[in-house]
Amino acid sequence: MRVAVVGVTGLVGTVMTELLAQRNFPITEFLPVASARSVGKTVTFKGESYKIIGMKDAVQAKPDIAIFSAGGGVSLEWAPQFAEVGTTVIDNSSAWRMDPSKKLVVPEINANELTDADKIIANPNCSTIQLVMALAPLHRKFAIKRLVISTYQSFTGTGQVAVNQYESEKQNKEIDVKDKAYKYPIFANCIPQCDVFLENDYTKEEMKLVNETQKILSDDSIRVTATAVRVPVFGGHSEAVNLEFEKPFEVSEVKETLSQTPGVIVQDDIANEVYPMPLMAHQQDEVFVGRIRRDNSLDNGLNMFIVADNLRKGAATNAIQIAEYLYSKKMAQNTNDCLV
């Protein structure tokens, strides 16, 4: 497999490169791709140095897979050009997520929907991925009627500029306004704004949770509302989630269902004060769920707390898992062809 990582110098691109090596993805040629200002610089992959190339050269190389983490504008311009030469694009931006012609994929939930014709595949928003990992098995069993989500999202989700701002504020250094990711301080603060505000007074991040959840679960009847908050935390995003089911349930059933879900780890032992925290989720690929308890204020209500590393399962890991699925599917097809 010839694999290009587009946006290789960014926070997510760096993690993608590390994980491709750690997970031993079968790469025959590695193509690091970035903007013009990074072309010619080097990155390390599996102990070897590779020169960064530009977008045109990457398209001409016709990689089998191109994993994008370079922003929506770049993806809208270049993903179709990669697709035209036969490359399968796995895109981490919001550019294609709500395009009805594109699949929005979390491999454990809906990778089986992918076909050879899907040349641009959307990677969901980080906060959505960890949410639906816990929701999907519960929706199949109890039918989710309504969701209320409050997120506590790591500043790392905003990228390197946010990390620089946090570190400067932590060290009490002056930082120019143009170099800030946020209008307000992020160190020792919580900012109830993730992304820009929309006409309905919700932020773009909050509406991603609404729209992407319905699309991935293939059910636009689920009523969803969300408040997304940026917090001064390394390690991952946390979500307090309140669910209302159509069907009655037992809390023990919920815990058992989640404990049997691949990619989900239940941490729910209140007697010993065991519950999910971003500190423990840092650099882990799983989604952690705890504080699972009945909401006694309504029929069929449930509360739970969901945590995952936003740069791993929330971005890089999920994208690479899609690539792994595509590779496995290709190998299976080749085997079947040989047997015919």
Cβ density class 255-282: b for 16+ within 10 Å, e for less: bebbeebebbbbbbeeeeeebbbbeebb
CA 315 to chain centre: 3
237 catalytic per annotation:
yes
The SS3 call for residue 182 is: coil
190 catalytic per annotation:
no
Please state which CATH number belongs to domain 2-95+315-339: 3.40.50.720
Sign of the alpha-carbon dihedral angle for 82, 73, 56, 63: negative
235 beta partners: none
**The total number of residues written for the chain in this structure:** 340
Rounded to whole angstroms, what are the CA distances from 108 to 30, 97, 120, 181, 216?
26, 17, 19, 33, 11
What does DSSP say about strands 42-45 and 48-51: parallel, antiparallel, or unpaired? antiparallel
Phi, psi of 3 (to 5 degrees): -120, 130
Residue 142: predicted pLDDT: 98
CA distance 76 to 120: 10
Q: What is the pLDDT along the chain (340 residues), one digit of tens a residue?
A: 999 999 999 999 999 999 999 999 999 999 999 999 999 999 999 999 999 999 999 999 999 999 999 999 999 999 999 999 999 999 999 999 999 999 999 999 999 999 999 999 999 999 999 999 999 999 999 999 999 999 999 999 999 999 999 999 999 999 999 999 999 999 999 999 999 999 999 999 999 999 999 999 999 999 999 999 999 999 899 999 999 999 999 999 999 999 999 999 999 999 999 999 999 999 999 999 999 999 999 999 999 999 999 999 999 999 999 999 999 999 988 877 666 5
Question: How confident is the model over 31-72, as pLDDT tens digits?
Answer: 999 999 999 999 999 999 999 999 999 999 999 999 999 999
Structure token pair of residue 232: 């001064």
The SS3 call for residue 50 is: strand
Phi, psi of 95 (to 5 degrees): -55, -40
Question: Given 139, 194, 237, 282, which residue is catalytic?
Answer: 237
CA distance 155 to 213: 22
Phi-psi map region of 229: left, alpha, beta (phi>0 left; psi -120 to 50 alpha): beta
Residue 209 · residue 229 · CB < 8 Å: no
User: What kind and span of H or E run contains 237?
Assistant: strand 237-245
Question: Given 126, 139, 194, 282, which residue is catalytic?
Answer: 126
Question: How confident is the model over 172-191, as pLDDT tens digits?
Answer: 999 999 999 999 999 999 99
Domain ranges of the chain: 2-95+315-339, 127-309
Residue 338: predicted pLDDT: 66
User: What kind and span of H or E run contains 122?
Assistant: strand 120-122
CATH fold for the domain made of 127-309: Dihydrodipicolinate Reductase; domain 2 (3.30.360)
